[in-house]
């Protein structure tokens, strides 16, 4: 039975919240690490018809072709050891391993990691995965990962972190790279940030946020002071009126600031590359490649 009191409270909470939403007041990221969310998101990762969470296998193959060409151009020959940050279900690691390279991926989404491991095992691939949170990287990361020839960070997830947090993990990650090794960062260019407030709603039978029928209210805002895009999802379950709020914040970086933060982490010689496959402006971005200064 519908609980109208719950529905009423949900509406009151939404009405009482800040509109437009303020930046970095909550988690700032999708709840990737929550088991139920991760299970639902895994289906989106593996759906070849959407680029929303992972690209299709054909696009990933093109990205891997490009990455290996960069490695070649940098003077590396033979099999490489590659670290993939926020690897999700390991699609890049699997492809690299199929080409004879050793791939290591980490993420903190449990269902994605479980799938990544199962696939690698089933196909006998030299790809391994471990759980780690970028914002709390283990002290022994470099020992665990060993010196790698390439670190790659696909899909602009880099923008989900505030600059001091990003600076901290870049420094920790660089320790894992051999001198002269490549750091490949897919970043969202400044002009793709929507610097305008808006909102929209829809009614869904189910989404990544909830299996049950719900109303999905979305608010988009731009905070000029911190250069942050804020995207709030309000989920109201139709039957019970339960309310959930998820907040995504995306930090915009001018290219010069990106080069500077990478430089402070010991990564120089920057080269900017346009989107590799050119499939979808919203879901494929340019790549900035730097090298660990020897």
Ligand X SMILES: C[S@@+](CC[C@H](N)C(=O)[O-])C[C@H]1O[C@@H](n2cnc3c(N)ncnc32)[C@H](O)[C@@H]1O
| Measured distance CA(266)–CA(175) in Å, rounded | 9
Q: Which is nearer to ligand X, 49 or 224 (CB)?
A: 49
By CB neighbour count within 10 A (0-12 exposed, 13-18 middle, 19+ buried), where does 221 fall?
A: buried
Per DSSP, 188 falls in state -
Smallest gap from Cβ 294 to ligand X, in A, equals 28
Using the minimum distance from each CB to ligand X, give the nearer residue, 11 or 44.
Answer: 44
Segment contacting ligand X by CB under 6 A, of 9-17, 82-90, 217-225, 259-267 = 82-90
User: Rounded to the nearest whole angstrom, what is the least distance from the CB of residue 166 to ligand X in the complex?
Assistant: 11
What residues between 231 and 290 interact with ligand X by CB under 6 A? none
Pairing type for strands 127-131 and 102-107 reads parallel
User: Among residues 10, 51, 54, 94, which is the contact residue for ligand X, using CB under 6 A?
Assistant: 54
Can you name the residues that pair with 271 across neighbouring β-strands?
289
User: In terms of CB distance, is 243 or 251 closer to ligand X?
Assistant: 251
Q: Counting contacts by CB under 6 A, is residue 157 touching ligand X?
A: yes
Write each residue from 90 to 129 as x if it is in contact with ligand X (CB under 6 A), else as -, in one continuous string: -x---------------xxx--x-----------------
Q: Which is nearer to ligand X, 95 or 237 (CB)?
A: 95
Q: Which of 288, 86, 96 is nearest to 169 (CA)?
A: 86
Stretch that binds ligand X, among 150-158, 187-195, 208-216, 270-278 (CB under 6 A): 150-158
Which whole-number Å values give the CA distances from 136 to 15, 33, 34, 202, in the listed order?
A: 35, 13, 16, 36
Residues 6+ apart with CB under 8 A from 270: 259, 262, 288, 289, 290
Q: How far is the CB of 172 from ligand X (least distance, A)?
A: 12
Distance CA 93, CA 82 (A): 8
How far apart are CB 46 and ligand X at their closest, in Å? 10
Q: Which stretch binds ligand X (CB under 6 A): 155-163, 238-246, 261-269, 284-292?
A: 155-163
| Residue 193 C-beta: closest distance to ligand X, Å | 17
CA–CA separation, 140 and 280 (whole Å): 38
56 lies in the site for ligand X, by CB under 6 A: no
Q: Where are the beta strands (DSSP E) in the chain?
A: 81-85, 102-107, 127-131, 148-153, 177-186, 198-204, 214-223, 228-237, 243-251, 267-273, 287-292
In three-state secondary structure terms, 16 is helix
Q: Pick from 70, 74, 135, 171 the residue near ligand X by CB under 6 A.
A: 135
Span from 80-88, 143-151, 225-233, 235-243 in contact with ligand X (CB under 6 A): 80-88
Q: Does 133 bind ligand X (CB under 6 A)?
A: yes
Where do contacts with ligand X occur on this chain (CB under 6 A)?
29, 32, 53-54, 86-88, 91, 107-109, 112, 133-135, 154-155, 157, 160
């Amino acid at each position: 039975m519908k609980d109208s009191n719950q529905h009423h409270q949900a509406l009151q909470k939404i009405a009482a919240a800040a509109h437009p939403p303020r930046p970095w007041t909550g988690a700032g990221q999708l709840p990737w690490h929550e088991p139920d969310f991760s299970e639902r998101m895994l289906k989106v990762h593996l759906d070849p018809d959407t680029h929303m969470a992972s690209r299709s296998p054909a696009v990933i193959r093109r990205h891997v072709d490009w990455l290996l060409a960069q490695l070649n151009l940098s003077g590396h020959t033979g099999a490489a050891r590659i670290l993939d940050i926020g690897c999700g279900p390991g699609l890049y690691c699997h492809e690299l391993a199929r080409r004879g390279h050793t791939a290591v991926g980490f993420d903190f989404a449990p269902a994605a990691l479980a799938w990544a491991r199962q696939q690698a095992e089933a196909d006998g691939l030299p790809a391994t995965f471990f759980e780690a949170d970028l914002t709390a990287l283990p002290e022994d990361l470099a020992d665990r990962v060993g010196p790698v020839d390439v670190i790659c960070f696909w899909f602009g997830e880099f923008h989900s972190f505030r600059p001091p947090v990003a600076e901290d993990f870049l420094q920790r990650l660089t320790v894992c790279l051999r001198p002269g090794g490549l750091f490949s960062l897919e970043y969202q260019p400044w002009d793709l940030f929507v610097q305008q407030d808006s909102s929209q709603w829809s009614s869904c039978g189910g989404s990544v946020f909830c299996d049950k029928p719900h109303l999905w209210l979305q608010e988009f805002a731009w905070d000029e002071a911190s250069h942050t895009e804020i995207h709030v999802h309000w989920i109201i379950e139709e039957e019970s009126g339960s309310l959930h709020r998820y907040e995504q914040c995306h930090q915009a970086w001018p290219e010069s600031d990106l080069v500077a933060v990478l430089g402070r982490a010991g990564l120089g010689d920057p080269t900017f590359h346009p989107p590799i496959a050119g499939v979808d402006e919203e879901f494929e971005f340019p790549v900035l490649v730097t090298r660990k200064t020897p």
